[in-house]
């Protein structure tokens, strides 16, 4: 059964913790003969990605739940169990929580307010205390479960994302340069989609990195883990530059650059070398690439001094050809930094395909 679940990836760590939180919450409420529904609903919506988020939001959700319960009492006393009581309870709870900057507790507070109205007993004060108590049980149990059980470790996902970003960047660079040199025309929509995928994965990885950094505030980690985190952070910073450079190349290619055959051959071959360096574990750069980059650097100055005047008849400093050559040179600089970064951390970094 467990093999089946693992194969189809039905239950992640957060899902398991949610189930455990609901079970413990229901057990406690049943033992003390308290209403279970409010508590388990709160337990479900309280589990967070990290311990830090659970603790921080728990401190917000408790007063928010108290506000929701108090508003429910007021609406019930004024409108009994009519439709107006539900509508006003929801509106007032959301509005007051937002005004008090308790946004992380709005969901719990609103559920508490609305769910209380149909179950009021003869004594409204007792109902208020009971509902607030059961909601608090759900919040506390979920926070403790998140703290002690299955602490999340996003390292594998982060490393996988780095690996996939390197491959996507390599693929996108090759396709852009094939398009520029007329070797293979690519659809603009396809290239933009690749660039968007790269950007999205980069943003998600940064979120996971922040989650992992927060998680380590409350759970033990080794010095090697910390160094790995530093490496990932610096690598993502370089990946930001690559994404930016690829975006500029995408924009420049739309003006149909007019390189001669030698320039096209140089650019295409350099792109092939760049693509190999990006996907290499150590991002090692060959001597051949250094020589070709020097050649490309000379051509940049030639374009600025001669070609612009001849082909355009006026001085335009950043025509498409100049932008593309400049971005390719900048791309090489980033690859050098990647290699130096990997060399600096080679004793402790772990790559996804290790």
For 175-243, the three-class secondary structure string (H helix, E strand, C coil) is HHHHHHCCCCCCCHHHHHHHHHHHHHHHHHHHHHHHHHHHHCCCCCCCHHHHHHHHHHHHHHHHHHHHH
Which CA distances in Å does 281 have to 133, 256, 328, 330?
54, 34, 21, 21
Count of C-beta atoms within a 10 Å radius of residue 194: 20
Q: What is the pLDDT of residue 330?
A: 93
Helices (H), the chain: 2-8, 13-31, 36-46, 51-79, 83-99, 106-116, 124-148, 155-180, 188-215, 223-253, 261-279, 287-302, 308-312, 320-344
Crossing angle of the two packed helices 106-116 and 83-99, in degrees rounded to 10 = 160
| Same-domain check for residues 70 and 101 | yes
> Which of 121, 148, 175 corresponds to the end of one domain?
148
For the chain, give the mean pLDDT. 84
- pLDDT over 90 (residue 242): yes
Distance CA 63, CA 51 (A): 19
Say if CB 239 and CB 180 are below 8 A apart: no
Distance CA 85, CA 75 (A): 5
- What predicted TM-score, i.e. pTM, was given to this entire model? 0.76
Instruction: For residue 200, tell me if it sits in a domain.
Output: yes
| Same-domain check for residues 96 and 201 | no
Task: List all residues 6 or more positions away from 25 whose beta carbon is below 8 Å from its beta carbon.
Answer: 36, 39, 40, 42, 43, 137, 138, 141, 142
Q: What is the pLDDT of residue 252?
A: 80
Burial of 23 by CB count in 10 Å (0-12 exposed, 13-18 middle, 19+ buried)? middle
Q: What is the pLDDT of residue 132?
A: 83
| Same-domain check for residues 191 and 331 | yes
Q: What is the pLDDT of residue 319?
A: 72
**Spatial CA neighbour of 323 closest among 260, 253, 241, 239:** 253
Q: What pLDDT digit, counting tens, does each position of 319-329 carry?
A: 777 888 889 99
Instruction: For residue 354, tell me if it sits in a domain.
Output: no
Backbone φ and ψ for 143, nearest 5 degrees, come out as: -65, -45
* Higher-scoring residue by pLDDT: 243, 112: 243
Q: What is the pLDDT of residue 49?
A: 79
Q: What is the pLDDT of residue 85?
A: 92
| Domain housing 58 | 15-148
| Same-domain check for residues 303 and 183 | yes
Distance CA 293, CA 164 (A): 26
> Which of 93, 128, 148 corresponds to the end of one domain?
148
Least confident of 212-221, 272-281, 288-297, 336-345: 212-221
Instruction: For residue 56, tell me if it sits in a domain.
Output: yes
What's the number of domains the chain is made of? 2
Say if CB 268 and CB 183 are below 8 A apart: yes
Which CA distances in Å does 285 have to 171, 173, 270?
18, 17, 11
| Same-domain check for residues 139 and 172 | no
Distance CA 156, CA 161 (A): 9
Q: What is the pLDDT of residue 305?
A: 61
pLDDT range class, residue 304, cuts 50, 70, 90: low
């Amino acid at each position: 059964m467990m093999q089946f679940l693992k194969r189809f990836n039905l239950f992640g760590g957060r899902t398991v913790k949610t189930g455990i939180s609901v079970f413990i919450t229901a057990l406690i409420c049943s033992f003390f003969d308290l209403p279970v529904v409010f508590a388990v609903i709160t337990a479900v919506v309280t589990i967070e990605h990290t311990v830090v988020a659970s603790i921080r939001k728990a401190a917000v959700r408790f007063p928010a739940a108290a506000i929701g319960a108090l508003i429910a009492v007021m609406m019930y006393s004024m409108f009994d169990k009519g439709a107006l009581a539900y509508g006003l309870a929801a509106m007032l709870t959301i509005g007051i929580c937002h005004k008090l900057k308790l946004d992380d507790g709005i969901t719990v507070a609103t559920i508490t307010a609305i769910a209380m109205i149909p179950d009021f007993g003869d004594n409204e004060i007792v109902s208020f205390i009971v509902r607030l108590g059961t909601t608090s049980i759900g919040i506390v149990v979920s926070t403790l479960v998140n703290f002690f059980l299955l602490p999340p470790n996003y390292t594998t996902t982060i490393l996988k994302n780095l690996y996939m970003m390197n491959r996507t960047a390599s693929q996108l660079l090759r396709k852009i340069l094939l398009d520029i040199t007329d070797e293979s025309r690519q659809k603009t929509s396809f290239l933009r989609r690749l660039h968007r995928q790269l950007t999205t994965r980069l943003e998600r990885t940064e979120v996971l990195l922040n989650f992992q950094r927060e998680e380590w505030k409350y759970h033990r980690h080794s010095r090697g883990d910390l160094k790995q985190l530093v490496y990932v952070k610096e690598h993502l910073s370089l990946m930001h530059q690559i994404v930016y450079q690829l975006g500029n190349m995408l924009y420049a290619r739309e003006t149909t650059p007019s390189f001669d055959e030698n320039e096209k051959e140089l650019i295409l071959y350099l792109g092939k070398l760049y693509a190999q360096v990006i996907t290499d574990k150590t991002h090692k750069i060959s001597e051949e690439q250094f020589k070709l980059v020097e050649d490309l650097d000379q051509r940049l100055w030639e374009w600025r001094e001669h070609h612009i005047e001849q082909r355009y008849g006026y001085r335009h400093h950043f025509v498409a050809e100049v932008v593309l050559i400049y971005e390719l040179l900048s791309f090489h600089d980033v690859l050098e930094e990647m290699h130096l970064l990997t060399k600096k951390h080679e004793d402790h970094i772990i790559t996804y395909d290790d």
